Each structure stands twice: as structure tokens, then as C-alpha cells.
Chain A
Amino acid sequence: MGLFTKFESLTEGRAELCALGIDPFAVQIEKIISPTEGIIHGKHTILAGTNNYLGLTFNPECIASARLALEHEGTGTTGSRMANGSYSGHRKLEQEMAAFYGKRDAIVFSTGYQANLGMIAAIAGPADVVLIDADCHASIYDGCRLGGAETIRFRHNNAEDLAKRLRRLGPRAADALIVVEGIYSMLGDRAPLKEIVAAKREFGGYLMVDEAHSFGVLGERGCGLVEELGIMDDVDFIVGTFSKSLGCAGGFCVSNLPELDLIRYASRPYIFTASPAPATIASARQALRILESGKDLRQRLRDNAKQLHSGLAALGYTLGGPPSPVVAVVLEGKVEALQFWDSLLKLGVYVNLMLPPATPNGVSLIRCSVSAAHTSEQIDAVCAAFAKLRAKA
């Protein structure tokens, strides 16, 4: 067994792709024109796979805030907050996030991945139990591994299965950490949070909800699924990212628990990482202000999601979930999905290709993400490209 023997399956997988002349993991957006358009392979392309849900990446106010921070605070912080100090913007963003959610406090992390990694690993150590939905994101699995907690999966979106596993834990359930997502990234389906909260009430435990794909998207004020379902007080930790709806980078956790502040001293992904750059923090703060008054943006996003979902359903495609900003088309096999993805790109539509083992139930997916910045004509053009390929099949 050589050091790189474990890469053999990766080498084989890549060779399969090369044999087909398609490498979806090497796509370069040669020029980014707007939140929804770019140049790929020299061709004008509609971007429908960017998670840019509110389309704020080119927002003039966000750009102006970032530019000001860049000029006044420099290009980077050059160190971690624990070792090298926080900038005032870091703490202000935390206070603003806490106020936005109506929670006691917030912690900002350098990425959304690190928010899950840092929170879970710090909270749940080797003597603790974490129960996670089987379809949770890799960052949640990795957080469990880093912390060394006993990690138990329950069936996807199955609160009854969660309850069964909490019951099996006996008295240990009272201190277990339950982790689910608001909207699941692959299929765009939502967690049955009310039922999950009911299981938590019956058996105990702490509930963490990752709203990465629902922050800015769901709820009257854009807080996420927790807000939409009116269960804010039943959730102990809300985690999310600034990289999607806020159009920049970074992650966060908000909570009413006073112990949240201690996480800073226990979380290695928080302690040993360079803090977010001033321009990133400034644009996140500005985008949060826009999000707070962004009812119209959310309405446009919902309208666009419905238009794409109903358009693809009318063409006879099998879709992964109900209308949401993530619209996933389920295809038969890897090769079919790969060729389908490539054909869409050639037709000027960029979406995401998702293949097993990264997908639930081993399915192959063409995953679209909708933006509030998409025009109705662009959504029509995406549907027209899918229609062309349907006609060919």
C-alpha cells in the first residue's frame, strides 16, 4: 500500500470522465458579467448553479461598503481573532446577526464550512452523542469526526426514526446534539422541523439547524425555515453561511445559550484560522441590511423558483423536491447525467452536476439554483434548453 494507493479510484473516475471528453470539475467562468451571466468556453452563459439566491454579488451598496473597507482597513487581517485580535467589523457583524435573529449572541467564522466544523467539534466531544440526518452536508459529518463524538445517523427527514434513536439513548438523550438542515442542498427538500422539535421535547437534547440554503430565503424576515415555522425558541443553535444569500463569504452561529461565547475558546476551526477580510465583513454587513428589508427579493426568488420548477415538471422531468431555490432533476445514471450537464452547458446554461456518493440514495442529479436576479426570460431560456434535451432523449 503506497501513500497514494487510496487515490486509485479517483484516478479511475477521472479517466472515465476524460474518456468522455467532459470534465465538470474543471469549469472556468472566464468572465463574470452579472449574478446570472458569465462567459464559459467563450460562450455567453446563464448561470443557474451558483447559490447566489438573492443575487447580491454585484449590489452597488455592497460593493461600495467593501471598497471602503478595503481602502481603510486593508486587504486582509493577516491572522486569527484569538491570536491577532478582532477588527471592529467582526464584532459588529456578530451583534447585528444576533439582533437580526433576536438571539443573545452570535459568532462569525471564516467560512460556512468552518461554522459547522467549529461549532459541532467544540460542542460534542468523545463522551457526547450527535444525531444527524443521513443527508447532512459533509461539513456536519466532518465536525462530528473532528470532535470525536459518537455519531448516529437517522433516516433522512424522518422524525420518527430520530425519536426512536433518542429513546434508545435513554438518559443520554438529554445531552445529545441533534443536527439537521433547513433546506437540503442536493434535492432542495425541507426538514420536518416541527416534528423534529416535538421529538426533542419528548426525549431532550439540543437542536442545531443549518440554514445555509434557507437563510435569506425563507421566513418573513429571511431568517430561514426556523422563522417560517415559528419555532425560533425551540432551536438552540442556528448555523449558516454568508456565501449564498449574502453573496460574500463567511459563516455564523447564533444562540441564546450563554455558553456560545465559550465556543471561541474551544473551537479549533475558529481559533486557528485567519479571520474574514475587512471587505468581506463590510459587504456581509451591508447585504444583511438589504436582506432585512428584502421582502421583494424573496418574493422574486420564490416566483423564479416556482417558474423553473413548474417549467421542468411540465416537461416531464423527475424533480427532487417541492419548489425551492434548489431545483434538482433526477437522472438515470452517471454517464447520462454527465452528458446532459455538458449538453446544457453547450446550450448556454450552467448548472451543477451531482454524482454519487455525494448524492442521497445514489442518484445522479442536475442541480439548478435559482436567483432573485434571474429574469423571467432567463428562466424561460433555462427551461427551453431542458426542453431541447428532452426532445432529443
Chain B
Amino acid sequence: MTEYQRIMADLSKGLAPYTKGLFEVDENTELVGDLDLDSLQIMELLLFVEDSFDISIPVSILPDVKTVGDLAKQVEKIIGHA
């Protein structure tokens, strides 16, 4: 399993409360468009991701994150710099 795949697996776990088991999350799933997350839910998701990977995600990356794959790439980048 690559680092990216491991991150995607963890993100799927973090998103489970929002999909309610109705569909599978993949890297093209949009956080707002498909999962209908509001800003508060995105904040909660980020807190989950930060604790899972023991990282801090800068606020500035948020405009670049549209899909789960975008978020996974950002996490991969931050882990790479740690």
C-alpha cells in the first residue's frame, strides 16, 4: 500500500459519518458537491485528519481542496515535509 493509498483509506474512514454507508468514497468525491459538507463539517473533518496523521493543516490550502483526492495529496505533501 502506498502512502497515498493509506491516506485515502484513512480519509474514507473519517468521511464515513457523512456518507452514512450509502456510497463509497473515492478520490474524485467532492467534499461540498457530493458529500454536501458545510464549513463546520469540513473543519471537523480536518481536525480528524490532523489527529490521525499527527499533522497541522494550514488554513491556506483549503481553497485548493475540492475533492477527497485533493485533500489526500495535501496530507501527503505535509507528511513528506514533516
Q: Which residues of A contact B (CB under 8 A)?
A: 134, 141, 144-145, 150-153, 155, 165, 168-169, 356-357, 361-362
Contact = CB atoms under 8 A, between A and B. Distances in A.
Contacts of A362: 38-40
B40 A168 contact: no
A362 B57 CA distance: 21
Interface in B45-60: 47, 54-60
A180 to B, nearest CB: 16
Given A150-B58, A151-B58, A152-B58, A134 B39 contact: no
B16 interface: no
Contacts of A165: 56
Given A150-B58, A151-B59, 16 more contacts: A134-B43, A145-B60, A150-B60, A152-B57, A152-B58, A153-B59, A155-B47, A168-B54, A168-B56, A169-B56, A356-B40, A357-B38, A357-B39, A357-B40, A361-B40, A362-B39
A322 B56 CA distance: 31
B52 to A, nearest CB: 13
Contacts of B47: 155
B39 to A, nearest CB: 5
Interface string B32-74: 0000001110010001000000111111100000000000000
Contacts of A150: 58, 60
A124 to B, nearest CB: 12
Which of the listed residues B40, B54, B57, B82 has the most CB atoms from chain A within 10 Å of its own CB? B40
Contacts of A151: 58-60
A217 B12 CA distance: 47
B41 to A, nearest CB: 9
A297 B55 CA distance: 46
Contacts of B58: 150-152
Nearest to A360: B40
Contacts of B57: 152
B59 to A, nearest CB: 4
Given A356-B40, A357-B39, A361-B40, A168 B60 contact: no
A151 to B, nearest CB: 4
B43 A152 contact: no
B59 A144 contact: yes
A205 to B, nearest CB: 14
A356 B59 CA distance: 19
27 contacts: A134-B43, A141-B59, A144-B59, A145-B60, A150-B58, A150-B60, A151-B58, A151-B59, A151-B60, A152-B56, A152-B58, A152-B59, A153-B59, A165-B56, A168-B54, A168-B55, A168-B56, A168-B82, A169-B56, A356-B40, A357-B38, A357-B39, A357-B40, A361-B40, A362-B38, A362-B39, A362-B40
